[in-house]
Amino acid sequence: MVLATIDINGIETEFICTSYTTTVYEQAFRADPYERVTGDIIADVMGRMRVSGNDIIDSDEDGNLVVTIDYTRDNWQAEKRALWAMIKTATEIRRINGEKVKPTPSYPEWDRSLVAWEPDFREMSYAVCGELQRGLFRAGADASA
């Protein structure tokens, strides 16, 4: 099982998305409409896109359908929460494999540790969404942790 990495405060941090990650996320982040949290990692990170109307569906000069999607409603905090759940999953996989690893702190503790982290949210978004796609929505997926 290949773990992805992201640089957090100069430390290459491993993360992975498996079906177990959905449970970690759900247990940690119960539904809260005020925080825009459903408790479902897929719904919170991927959101819901509805494409309709002539103003967002068009054709290019070759007649190909062109769809414009508005990402200004992205839930950037959900992506950070999802990253934490994926880091926790990677830690659990390493522990199950017999490695001695420090447990992942709770989300609030982990989030506070990021005070000095200056993330590129676009890079984090690509990493999280890419891993979510790779881990949960791929044909012939391996058994998950």
Residue pLDDT, tens place only, 115-139: 877 777 888 888 998 999 999 987 6
pLDDT at 69 over 70: no
In angstroms, the CA 76 to CA 106 distance is 19
Host H or E run for residue 19: helix 19-28
**Domain ranges across the chain:** 4-136
Residue pLDDT, tens place only, 95-108: 999 999 999 999 99
pLDDT at 145 over 50: no
Q: Is the pTM of this model over 0.85?
A: no
Residue pLDDT, tens place only, 10-65: 889 999 999 999 999 999 998 777 666 788 898 888 875 555 554 556 677 887 77
Both tokens assigned to 83: 């990253």
pLDDT score of 6: 92
